[in-house]
Amino acid sequence: MSDEQQGIIDPLTGAYSRALLAPRLAEELARAARSTTGFAVMLFDVDYFKSVNDAYGHGRGDEVLKQLADRVNRFVRGYDVLFRYGGDEFVLLLPETEEADAVRVALRLTEGIRGTDFPGEPPLNVSVSLGVALFPKDAATAEDLLACADRRNYLAKQRGRACAVADDAESDARPVSSRMLERDVPLTTVHDFLTRLRVEPRGALRVAGEPGAGHTRFLEAAAHAAKLRGFQIVDASAGVPEPGPTPPGVLVIADRDARSRTAEVVRELTERLPATTPLGLAYATSDGIGGADLPVLDSVELLPWSPAALRIWLRTTLGAEPSLVLVDWLTERSAGLPARAQRELDRLQKNNHLVRAEHGAVTVAPALLAKPSRHRHQLPVPITEMVGRQHETVQVAQLLNERRLVTLIGPAGIGKTRLSLAVGAAVQDRFPDGAAFVPLAEASADLVVPVLAQALDIAEVPGQALVDTVLEQLADLSLLLILDNFEHVIDSSPLIGQLLTAAPGVRVLVCSRQRLGVYGEQVYRVPSLALPDDAVLASGPGAAQRALATSPALVLFNTRARAAAYDFAITGDNLAAVVELCRRLDGLPLAIELAAAHIDTLSPERMLADLAGRLELDGEVARDRPERQQTLRGAIDWSVNLLDPPTRHLLHWLGIFAGGWQLGDLAEVYPNDGGADLPKRLESLVDKNLVRAEPDGPDGLRYSMLETIRAYAAERLAEDGEADPAHRRHAEHYAGMAERAGGEMIGPEQVTWTGRVEREYQNLRAAFNRSLLRADPVPAFRMGAGLWRFWRTGRHIGEGRDWLARLLAGDAVALSDQIRAQLLHAAAVLAGAQDDHETGYALAQESLRYARAAGDAHTTAQACNALGIATLAAGDYDAARGFYTESLAICEEQGAALGMAIAHGNLTRLALRTGDIDAASEHARRCLELDRQQGNTRGIMLGLLCLGEISLARWDTAGARGYLDESLALSRTLGDVFGEAMALHLLGRAAQREGDGAEALRLVCAALALRNEVGDREDLAISLESLGVLLAGHDAELAARLLGAAEALRTRHRLPDNGEAAAEREAGLVTLRESLDTGTLAVAWTAGQSSPLDLIVAEAVARVAALS
């Protein structure tokens, strides 16, 4: 019997089988115990091996494993023993080996494997991640040695893959998070940064990315990398450690919650350490703001995961293969952000919405898939617990069961917002699409729809009124909508009636000081917090405890007072004073909280005496106010007057902010002479419940005020005579932010700045409107010129067009030709983004005229580009060519490499549209050359795609594959789904040309799924048609539905149709007519036109998978 038959040799790779590993390790342990020489165990696997199987099939994957085993045996010593551990994992035993020799073998192995491509069609670059464990240094048993090697194998992945790791001092033997997927390039930057610190001993590493992108785990990985180099790690949130021996280097880690302490920590370490000792700072941010005065040596951006990375994470987390449906579900709801993906997966598991499919994959329960495929909305979570509203919560929740519109009515400070959030949290699980909170305190009637769209993450659709888009999106949802501070927009009440009519699955909970007067409205008057009965107060010993048990007002006072002074307690001695205090405050929660915050400096008795006088005085000066408003105003006045003058002055200035602020923005706006005291004063206002501080994703804290207090502060600011200078400073600051955003939105920090502008949009809006009202439009001009790239992404695009129209129509200040040209160009771009190409053309023409008059070459080139886009959309290819060519000539004259690359790229697309392959090739090669010179990875990827498409047009499939394979790899590195989909689609066409129908189906179908996922309409239509043609000979009815869906998509969105696509479509129809009778073909075609795209795509993906 052969070794293979006996199970000794793995039949695929020729390595020893796993069954032999345990006895062989036992032999080596016994030998080593009698010797002074130890041994080593290595565990390694192929990086991204699944992608080999997915892209090239399991046959190619098996061939790679054979070649890998052969290559390993060439690089190790003759007495080393290789075992196949399972799948693509191998174990290498190195007998009689000390640590230095083991490391040398490991490095030789990893370098040798990745150094030369593995032969085949196409050749593949393969690497392995390898962990090394040593006996007796790391472990004394076989099981522990393998566990140690396995742990270091994962650490090798964390450090960027394609490497070997022989220690885990930096990991404390903890498992490495699978959330470090697709962080190879940023981790490489970490290592480069640490190396640079040896030359430039002071510097910072900026770690940017959207909230939820994994900053914390990435900083942990950076700390681990620094430990490997001997750095001492200092956590900024924990402060500076006690002095000790000078380390080889120090790295300060500053997560988002440590920003306020970072500068102090870095300052102290700078003073303590010798100038030659490296001192680095790695800090997390989403707005580019750091925490210390150190030069930024390197920056990384944590991009969202691609669907491929999400699938790998799901496989690791679930311990099973996720279905495509589950991957798509999480991708849509998380936007590729690890934290969001984890929350959604937790929700699915908690609600038993994950099931096993027929082939063992984990998928989404069919019952859940039948519901609308939209992300689940979440409510904001208050920082402090709600006190004393349990009964009201139950009552309102019951009303929402019975009525679709419930309005919470009550005066300011009664607690309507907190009650609405508590009710929402209690009932949101009844709604498959969750609950959404819409704050309207800063809105006017004309902004209700945009604010609602923003809260629901609904993008504007070209050619459709935003209100219609919102109602259409809501129509199929089962959602609770909470509208706060509706009294500010009471004239918009009819919109609620429209909404309830259009969206039968939506229920609305409104917070307002007055009823809406809408048919079907159920009013609920929010009561004050109850006080204890007199009988309870007179009941002798234990009265305080009984009073607390029966009075929510006392419980709230006690809770907030203990937050200010932990040793405070309501006792028999102070009970009467506290009860009377709450009674004088009418049981208003906000007033009670303001009073309780002063318990650290005033006794209840003193507080009662002071406050009583203030309430009586307020009653004399504000008798036209309702009684409870007088009470609240008096409580606010009393609390504010207890502040020291500088802090009181700061509070008044805070009234200018809309939607909140961050400390850095406040420091720029507030005329703060004692800058160092600003954080302290702000914290004092938080302690007194006059300002709220809430976690702001990765950016530390965001501050805000209740609308009642903000309005009070703004009123006092006007009384101080400082409203004008405050508004001017506010406008200047946010105009500067808008201008900086304009530049950053075309750089590597685009995601970061998009998020920052979105968070500050209410401040930007307020600054814009105040500037125009104050007849000081210059800041408004700066904002309009700076924000157009943000608006172009689809966020607030309608409002952006309105802002620009107001600026261009105004005559308060004469615009220079240059500024007018820039604003007209921005307006043209936004018009084009909404498919309003006729308006866009007219605006671009005006922009061109003014830019030429001003001698502004840059804007002239931009205007030509906008005119080219408009004429290309209109089908006037000659005019488009002229405009693009002029733009290119200007950029060449100016030496503007980025503009030249853009112009060449536009000319490439135009030439491909018109079939001029030679011209397309020339422009694409020049575009690629410029992008390579600038290191523009995304531009390189796009250039390679164009060259791949050009090679296919020339029937050079081998050349096309070379370009497209490189482009596919770059797109996955960048996480660019659009680029990945295009590369897959074109590779599918190449396979079709080569006669490999099965591979063509697989690749084109993969591209279709990606394009449907991101809503890429024009390319989605192309994929639907291509896959329909490919499927015509396999499933004619499905093919007809796909072609019908493509036609509907083109018609609905007025998408262009080129000759090649039409010819391919006609060829597919010939096949369909041979397979189907006229009636069946018509029915299938019509079904494709009317069916939801998600269903059509899901059916196609399943069918192609079955054919494979």
Segments of the chain scoring below 50 in pLDDT: 1-2, 5, 169-179, 287-288, 370-374, 616-626, 628
The predicted structure's pLDDT at residue 221:
84
pLDDT tens by residue, 1058-1086 = 656 677 778 778 888 888 888 888 888 88
Does residue 721 sit in helix, strand or coil? coil
The CATH H-level superfamily of 180-302 is P-loop containing nucleotide triphosphate hydrolases (3.40.50.300)
The predicted structure's pLDDT at residue 262:
83
| Euclidean distance between CA atoms 363 and 1046, whole angstroms | 28
The predicted structure's pLDDT at residue 214:
80
**Residue 862 and residue 825 in contact, taking contact as beta carbons nearer than 8 Å:** yes
* Number of alpha helices (DSSP H) and beta strands (DSSP E) in the chain: 48, 19
168 DSSP assignment: -
The predicted structure's pLDDT at residue 287:
47
Rounded to the nearest 5 degrees, what angle is found at the Cα of 76, between the Cα atoms of 70 and 78? Answer: 95
Q: 473: which 2 tokens?
A: 């999106």
Look-up of token digits 């007219």: 842
Helices in 166-306 by DSSP H: which ranges?
Answer: 184-199, 215-228, 259-272
Q: 986: which 2 tokens?
A: 């074109």
Q: How many residues does the chain have?
A: 1108
Contacts of 935-940 with C-beta under 8 Å, sequence gap 24+, read 936/898, 936/901, 937/970, 937/973, 937/974, 938/974, 938/976, 938/979, 939/901, 939/905, 940/970
The predicted structure's pLDDT at residue 540:
62
Helices in 492-603 by DSSP H: which ranges?
Answer: 493-502, 534-537, 543-550, 552-564, 575-584, 589-596
Backbone angles phi, psi at 164, to 5 degrees: -115, 145
Q: Name the region of 247 (left: φ>0; alpha: ψ -120 to 50; beta: rest).
A: beta
- Letter string b/e over residues 165-177, b meaning 16 or more CB atoms within 10 A of that residue's CB: bbbbebbeeeebb
pLDDT tens by residue, 984-1008 = 999 999 999 899 989 999 999 999 8
| Euclidean distance between CA atoms 158 and 929, whole angstroms | 33
Backbone angles phi, psi at 264, to 5 degrees: -65, -40
304 DSSP assignment: P
Same topology, domains 180-302 and 390-525? Answer is yes
| Euclidean distance between CA atoms 623 and 628, whole angstroms | 11
Q: Which of 565, 570, 498 is nearest to 531 (CA)?
A: 570
Domain boundaries defined on the chain: 18-168, 180-302, 307-369, 390-525, 534-641, 645-721, 825-895, 904-975, 995-1108
> In the CATH hierarchy, which top-level class contains the domain 904-975?
mainly alpha
User: What is the third-level CATH fold of 645-721?
Assistant: Arc Repressor Mutant, subunit A (1.10.10)
| Euclidean distance between CA atoms 630 and 623, whole angstroms | 7
Q: 379: which 2 tokens?
A: 């409510």
**Residue 799 and residue 760 in contact, taking contact as beta carbons nearer than 8 Å:** no
Q: In angstroms, how far is CA 676 from the centroid of its own chain?
A: 33
C-alpha distances in Å from residue 580, one per residue of 547, 587, 593:
13, 10, 15
Residue 88 CA neighbour count, 13 Å, CB half: 24
**Residue 794 and residue 746 in contact, taking contact as beta carbons nearer than 8 Å:** no
Q: Which of 879, 932, 935, 933 is nearest to 906 (CA)?
A: 879
Q: Which of 100, 84, 123, 127 is nearest to 37 (CA)?
A: 100
Q: Which of 760, 595, 569 is nearest to 666 (CA)?
A: 760
**Residue 916 and residue 877 in contact, taking contact as beta carbons nearer than 8 Å:** no
| Euclidean distance between CA atoms 106 and 132, whole angstroms | 8
> In the CATH hierarchy, which top-level class contains the domain 390-525?
alpha beta
The predicted structure's pLDDT at residue 537:
66
Strands of 89-94's sheet, edge to edge? 81-86, 89-94, 39-46, 128-135, 164-165
Instruction: Classify residue 565 as exposed, middle or buried by CB count within 10 Å of its CB (0-12, 13-18, 19+).
Output: middle
Look-up of token digits 């925490």: 291
Secondary structure (DSSP) of 767-823: HHHHHHHTT--HHHHHHHHHHHHHHHTTTTHHHHHHHHHHHHH--SSPPPHHHHHHH
What does pTM read for this prediction? Answer: 0.54
> Which residues fall within 8 angstroms of residue 616, CB to CB, at 6 or more apart?
none
Does residue 207 sit in helix, strand or coil? strand
- Letter string b/e over residues 654-674, b meaning 16 or more CB atoms within 10 A of that residue's CB: bbbbbbbbbbebbebbbebee
Q: Which of 817, 736, 805 is nearest to 772 (CA)?
A: 805
Does residue 694 sit in helix, strand or coil? strand
The predicted structure's pLDDT at residue 177:
42
Q: Which of 71, 118, 82, 79 is nearest to 96 (CA)?
A: 79
The predicted structure's pLDDT at residue 250:
93
Give the CATH number of domain 18-168; options: 1.10.357.10, 3.40.50.20, 3.30.70.270, 3.90.950.10. Answer: 3.30.70.270
> In the CATH hierarchy, which top-level class contains the domain 825-895?
mainly alpha
| Euclidean distance between CA atoms 154 and 162, whole angstroms | 11
**Type of residue at 176:** V
| Euclidean distance between CA atoms 213 and 309, whole angstroms | 13
The predicted structure's pLDDT at residue 760:
92
The predicted structure's pLDDT at residue 72:
94
The predicted structure's pLDDT at residue 77:
85
Q: 558: which 2 tokens?
A: 């006690």
**Type of residue at 823:** L
| Euclidean distance between CA atoms 385 and 704, whole angstroms | 18
Q: 497: which 2 tokens?
A: 């009636």
